[in-house]
Amino acid sequence: MRSTLFIILIFSGLFVFPQIAEHKIFPPVKSSFDVPILAYHRFGDNRYRSTNTSLDVFEQHLRYLKENQYTVLTFGEAFKRWKNNESFPAKTTVITIDDGYSSFYENGWPLLKKYGFLATIFIQTDIVGHKDFISWAQFAELQKAGIEIQNHSDLHDFFVNYNDAERAGKFREDLIKSTALIEQNLGKRPEYYVYPYGEWTKDMVQVLKETGYSAALVQNSGLFCETSDPFEIPRFPLGGYFGTFEELKRKIGLKALRIEKTIPDSPFLSQNPPEIRVEVLPGKVNLKKAQFFVAGTKCENIKIIDDPNNPAVILKATSPLTARRTLYTITAPSKDGKTWHWYSYEWIRPEVGE
Ligand SMILES: [Zn+2]
C-alpha cells in the first residue's frame, strides 16, 4: 500500500526528491576550512570616519597577524585553493580593500610591506586617478609588487534600486565597462567582484557568471568556508565603528556557521519585520545556545529547531526595520564550547536612501 502511494506520488509529480544546493556541489572539498576575510576602505584618513582605519590600529592588526602566525593569502590564492581542493594552513586570512583610495597607496601599503603581507583591492574604475584615488600607474606598480587588483564596478551604483526589468541590463553595462578598463590598463582580466554597498540580487549573480566571473564578495559579516556560495562570500568590516584592535581579535578566531539554505533567499522584504528560516548544516554546533542579533543588538525572537537531521533557526526582529541595510546575525557555540560560529543575512530596503 505504502509503495503504491509512493509510486503514485512520483508519477503525479507531487513527490520532490531532496535537492542538493548548487554551491555545495561546486567545488568539491575534502577538508573544511574557516577563513575570515577582512574588509578595509581608508587608512589614516580622519576626514571619513565611517570608513577609516587609523594607522595605529591597522599596524596593530598586522602585528597581531604576524605574531600569531597567520598566513595572509590574496583572495585569488584563497579561492583557487578551494577550487583545487587544496587544504588551508590552520590560521589563514585574506586582507581586502574596497574602492581604491589614495590613502591605501600612501599609508596602508607601506605598512603591509613592513609586515610582508599582500592584499586584494577591489576598485571603482570610473574614479581611478581622481583626487584622493589611486591612479592606473600606481595600480600597475601595486600589481607588480603582488597586490591583486579586482573589480568593484565602474560607477558604484545602487543596482538594487533599478526595477527587475532594468537591473540586469544596467549591471551588465557597468560590469562590461569596468572589466574592460581593468584589463586594458593592467593587462589582466578581473575574476572576482565586490558588490557596491554589499547590495546584490540573484539576477546580478547571473550576469557575473555570464561575464566570466568566478566569485563575488559581500559585506555580510561571516567567514569563507567550504560550503560558502562563491557569489556570496562574506567579510568582516574593520573600518569606521569596527576599526579597532578588539574587533579584529573578536572576529579572527570565529568559525563559520554552515548553512544549508535560507527561506526566503532574497534580500528584499515581503513583510516588515521580515522572518527568515535558516537551515543549518548538522555538525559541531550547539544550536540550543544560538543567539540572534538585529543590526548588532540582541533579539530574543529566535525559535531554535534542534533536530539533529535538519537543524534550523527561525528569526524575526521585534520591530520594523528602518535602515536601508540591516543584518540578522546568528552566533552559536561549538559543542566543545571553545569557539563561536557566525552567520549573517542582509536585508535591503531599496526605498530608503543611503
Ligand atoms: Zn565601495
Whether 133 and 27 share a structural domain? yes
pLDDT band at 354 (very low <50, low <70, confident <90, very high): confident
Instruction: Indicate if 35 and 167 belong to the same structural domain.
Output: yes
122 C-alpha to ligand 1 centroid (Å):
8
Domain count, the chain: 2
Q: Quick one: which H or E segment has residue 112?
A: helix 109-115
Shared-domain flag, residues 264 and 207 = no
Residues 194 and 309 reside in one and the same domain:
no
| Cell 521585534, located at residue | 318
Q: What's the gap in Å between 292 CA and the centre of ligand 1?
A: 27
| One domain, residues 182 and 237 | yes
How confident is the model at residue 26, as a pLDDT?
Answer: 47
Q: How far is the CA of 18 from the centre of ligand 1 (A)?
A: 38
Cα 259 to middle of ligand 1, angstroms: 27
pLDDT score for 2: 44
Domain of 344, CATH number, reads 2.60.40.1220
- Of 228, 255, 282, which closes a domain? 255
How many A from CA of 321 to the centre of ligand 1? 23
221 and 330 part of one domain: no
Mean pLDDT of the chain: 92
Residues 213 and 341 in one domain: no
Give the Å distance between the CA of 165 and the centre of ligand 1: 24
Share of residues in the chain with pLDDT > 90 (%) = 88
- What distance in angstroms lies between residue 297's CA and the mean position of ligand 1's atoms? 25
| Residues 314 and 220 both lie in one domain | no
CA distance 259 to 128: 38
pLDDT per residue as tens digits for the range 302-335: 999 999 889 999 999 999 999 999 999 999 999 9
Alpha carbon distance 296, 13 (integer Å): 44
In a domain, 3, yes or no: no
CA dihedral of residues 151, 153, 154, 160 (deg, nearest 10): 170
Q: How far is the CA of 219 from the centre of ligand 1 (A)?
A: 10
d(CA 54, CA 59): 9
Question: What distance in angstroms lies between residue 98's CA and the mean position of ligand 1's atoms?
Answer: 5
Distance in Å, CA 306 to ligand 1 centroid: 38
Ligand 1 mean position, distance from CA 231 (Å)? 17
The lowest-confidence range among 14-18, 112-116, 237-241 is: 14-18
Q: What percent of the chain has pLDDT over 70?
A: 92
Q: Give the distance (Å) from ligand 1 centre to CA of residue 197.
A: 6
Separation of CA 170 and ligand 1 centre (Å): 17
Q: The domain that contains 50 carries what CATH number?
A: 3.20.20.370
123 and 270 in a single domain? The answer is no
14 pLDDT band, cuts 50/70/90, is very low
Q: Answer yes or no: do 195 and 300 share one domain.
A: no
pLDDT digits (tens, 9 = 90+) for 152-183: 999 999 999 999 999 999 999 999 999 999 99
284 and 344, same domain (yes or no):
yes
Three-class DSSP category at 75:
helix
Indicate the residue type of 335. K
In this prediction, residue 189 carries a pLDDT of 98
Q: How confident is the model at residue 21 (pLDDT cuts 50, 70, 90)?
A: very low
How far is ligand 1, taken at its centre, from the CA of residue 22, in Å? 28
Residue 22 has pLDDT above 50, yes or no: no
- Going from the Cα of 39 to the center of ligand 1, the distance in angstroms, rounded, reads 11
Q: Domain range for residue 82? A: 22-255
Read off the pLDDT of residues 261-299 as tens digits, 9 standing for 90 and up.
Answer: 999 999 999 999 999 999 999 888 999 999 999 999 999
Q: How far is the CA of 4 from the centre of ligand 1 (A)?
A: 58
Of 234, 255, 276, the domain-final residue: 255
Q: Render pLDDT for 74-94 as a digit per residue (tens, 0 to 9).
A: 999 999 999 998 999 999 999
Distance 100 CA to ligand 1 centre (A): 9
The per-residue DSSP string of 236-296 comes to EE-SGGG-SHHHHHHHHT-EEPPEEEEES--SB-SSSS-EEEEEEPSSSB-GGG-EEEETT
CA of 196 to the centre of ligand 1 (A): 5
Among 204, 238, 255, the domain-final residue is 255
Distance from Cα 70 to the centre of ligand 1, integer Å:
26
pLDDT for res 9: 41
pTM of the model: 0.91
pLDDT at 30: 61
